[in-house]
Structure 1
Amino acid sequence: MKTTIVSIGKQKYKTEIQAKNHIIVADEPVELGGQDLGFTPTELLESSLASCTAMTIRMYADRKGWELDGVEIKVGYKKNVNTNQITFIKEIQLFGKLSNEQLDKLMEIGAKCPIEKIITGNIVVQSNFI
């Protein structure tokens, strides 16, 4: 199992996230009692989906030797209050000399990134005291 360690002390709501040799800070905005020192948990989730999609598109284009100069992805979500369904919206911009067929294929490949598979799959969260 991969291990990501998250710790929070007494400082509202500054949270340190460590994965391998990397540390980032998450926090809440000032209006919610935090200090706005880092991404909110929602922004971390959105950025996970966006960065995974961008990397998946980049890897595929590189393998195919396609002229993809860059990828920009904006991610947000909306919640249907009646059904409780969450819909993530990805706005994808691809830069480079690409045919319509290549653009379509890259859009299809981007939807197959591991994070999208996780959040659209059957998820169970198991929590245990240690």
Structure 2
Amino acid sequence: MEHPEPGTVTVTATGDGTYTHQVTTATHELLVDEPTALGGADAGPNPYELLLAALGSCTAITLRMYADRKGIPLTRATVRLRHDRIHAEDCEKCETERGMLSRITREISLEGELDEEQRARLMVIADKCPVHRTLSSEIVIETHETGR
């Protein structure tokens, strides 16, 4: 398969399973699928797991970059994420008041000889990772058919 230009991702059915798809970037390839319970072959993470992986990896990388730049003795950041849906009325911080909305729970474990001020600062920085900012801002998705 031809690799797209940097900054572009291509997703194409593999033909190997009902929902198995090949994700191709400029330099990488991976499979995405649904679990067998949903009719997939479980050949790779599902789309929501990829979304969580994007947020978690961006968070961990942002923390590492900040700690390195500021000389903070962070030895490791582990990010654990979960996605679920909740009733809007159960959300104190949400603008949406009715219906269901998505919630991502992110737990961050910071390792290293960190004082309380450094820990607090790193937790603030976690919310500044680019993927977090993208997911928490207004997003416009434009869809166009090609190849006709």
- Is residue 91 of structure 1 aligned with residue 96 of structure 2? no
CA distance in 2, matches of 1:92, 1:83: 29
Q: Which stretches of structure 1, 4 residues or longer, exceed 6 Å deviation after superposition?
A: none
Give the partner amino acid of 1:45.
L
Give the Å deviation of 1:65: 1.2
CA distance in 1, matches of 2:39, 2:8: 28
1:7 alignment counterpart:
12
Give the Å deviation of 1:2: 2.2
2:70 alignment counterpart:
64
Q: Percent identity?
A: 35
Given the two structures, how large is their TM-score scaled by the length of structure 2?
0.83
Secondary structure, counterpart of 1:25 in structure 2: strand
**CA shift in 2, pair 1:39/1:19, >3 Å:** same
2:26 alignment counterpart:
20
2:139 alignment counterpart:
123
8 Å CA contact retained: 2:7, 2:26: no
Write out per-residue CA displacement over residues 71-120 of structure 1, whole angstroms, 9 at most, x where no aligned residue. 11100122124532222110000000001000000000010001001110
CA distance in 2, matches of 1:43, 1:79: 15
1:28-107 alignment to 2 at 5 Å?
Answer: 28-81=34-87, 83-107=99-123
Worse-matched range after superposition: 11-20 or 79-88: 79-88
**Residue segments in structure 1 that go unaligned for 5+ positions in a row:** none
**Residue segments in structure 2 that go unaligned for 5+ positions in a row:** 1-5, 88-97
Please say which structure displays the higher CA radius of gyration.
Answer: 2
CA distance in 1, matches of 2:107, 2:128: 16
Number of corresponding residues: 130
Secondary structure, counterpart of 2:108 in structure 1: strand
8 Å CA contact retained: 2:74, 2:111: yes
CA distance in 2, matches of 1:113, 1:13: 31
**RMSD of aligned alpha carbons:** 1.3
Write out per-residue CA displacement over residues 9-66 of structure 1, whole angstroms, 9 at most, x where no aligned residue. 4331111001111001000111111111100001000111100000000000000111
